[in-house]
């Protein structure tokens, strides 16, 4: 038994293509220094009554909201995830820009040395919020916060987690963020070469479980 005491390694990649249970993602890139990551998945339940009593509980899982706090999001990353264009360090913010779907990952570190890896598989980010104030005698650093909304892929998967404290995860610990985790690696008798689509220089692919 342990507890998460830290947060690090925020990464992202663009969801380039999604069809027939196969997913093509771009290169995994560094996002921004991690201060906080609040992940909230909505869920509802309803109880069906019959014969003068409750007989069935219906559940529904909805969207996942992410609030990520950081020191500063690099301008090239910010332009990419919000669908804006950056030229020579300048972003001309347009209201008609369409943000791409992306996957977002991070690592929670535990006090016993183990880690909890997380991928949110498909979502879009909004414009980040920030606060500014004048410099005073006491240092008071200003930070940024950005929110994203994440949903399920067409294989119904909206989040993938891996924990190094669980037996069997060791083989994925150092490669979990090389790409969005390929669930076919969990299937007995299958290899990455036999389950993945052809990879290109600009994008990596990940197989579903369908």
22-31 pLDDT per residue, tens = 889 999 999 9
Mean pLDDT computed over 97-123: 97
CB 31 within 8 A of CB 77: yes
CB 206 within 8 A of CB 176: no
pLDDT of residue 205: 53
pLDDT tens digits, one per residue of 130-164: 778 888 888 888 889 999 999 999 999 999 999 99
d(CA 88, CA 134): 27
Q: What is the pTM of this model?
A: 0.85
d(CA 152, CA 159): 8
Q: Identify the residue with better confidence: 201 or 34.
A: 34
In CATH, the number for domain 4-17+28-46+58-166 is 2.30.110
d(CA 14, CA 81): 8
d(CA 154, CA 56): 27
pLDDT-wise least confident of 118-122, 197-201, 202-206? 197-201
């Amino acid at each position: 038994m342990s507890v998460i005491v830290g947060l690090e390694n925020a990464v992202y990649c663009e969801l380039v293509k999604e069809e027939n249970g196969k997913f093509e993602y771009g290169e995994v890139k560094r996002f921004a220094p991690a201060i906080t990551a609040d992940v909230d998945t909505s869920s509802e339940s309803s109880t069906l009554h019959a014969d003068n009593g409750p007989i069935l509980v219906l559940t529904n899982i909805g969207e996942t909201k992410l609030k990520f706090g950081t020191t500063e999001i690099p301008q090239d990353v910010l332009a990419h995830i919000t669908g804006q264009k950056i030229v020579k360090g300048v972003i001309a913010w347009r209201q008609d820009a369409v943000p791409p779907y992306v996957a977002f990952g991070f690592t929670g570190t535990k006090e016993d040395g183990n880690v909890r890896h997380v991928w949110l598989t498909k979502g879009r980010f909004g414009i980040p919020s920030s606060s500014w104030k004048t410099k005073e005698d006491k240092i008071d650093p200003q930070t940024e916060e950005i929110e994203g909304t994440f949903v399920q892929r067409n294989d119904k998967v909206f989040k993938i987690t891996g924990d190094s404290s669980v037996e069997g995860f060791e083989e994925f610990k150092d490669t979990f963020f090389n790409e969005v985790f390929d669930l076919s690696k969990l299937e007995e008798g299958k290899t990455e070469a036999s389950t993945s689509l052809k990879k290109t220089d600009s994008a990596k692919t990940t197989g579903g479980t369908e």
